[in-house]
Amino acid sequence: MKGYVFFEEDRCKGCQLCIPVCTKGVIRLSNRINVRGYHPAEAANPEECTGCGLCARMCPDTVIRVYRQIPARAGSGKG
């Protein structure tokens, strides 16, 4: 399953709660400093993301948006 994860960096406080919950090691703390003075989290390996959403469910600041490929449904009649 292909997932897509987006970080709204200026909301991030660099708390790192998202990092250990990602089983694919997608997330790391960046070296940048955001407008709030924190190192925001970023997707270091976005290609590994499966769209499980655990990072977003851990984040206290709704920094993270998660999407995933719409699964193909056999015999659905849709393209």
Partner 1 sequence: MTGRWERPAGTEVVYERPEALTDAVTHYCPGCTHGIAHRLVAEVIDELGVRERTVAIASVGCSVLAYNYFAVDAQQAAHGRAPAVATGIKRVRPDCVVFTYQGDGDLAAIGTAEIIHAAMRGEKITVIFINNAIFGMTGGQMAPTTLVGQTTTTTPGGRLPERIGYPIRICEMLAQLDGAAYVARQALSSPQNIARAKRSIRKAFEAQLGGHGLGIVELLSTCNVNWKMNPVDALKWLEANMIPVFPLGEFKDWSKAGEMAATFGGLGEVAG
Q: What residues make contact with partner 1 under the rule CB under 8 A?
A: 3-4, 6, 10-11, 13-17, 19-21, 36, 38, 51-54, 56-62, 64-70
31-64: burial string, b at 16+ Cβ within 10 Å, e else: eeebeeebbbbbbeeeeebbebbebbebbeeebb
Residue 60 CB, shortest distance to partner 1, in Å, is 2
Residue 45 CB, shortest distance to partner 1, in Å, is 17
Query: Which token pair is 31?
Result: 């070296």
Compare residues 21 and 48 and give the one whose CB is closer to partner 1: 21
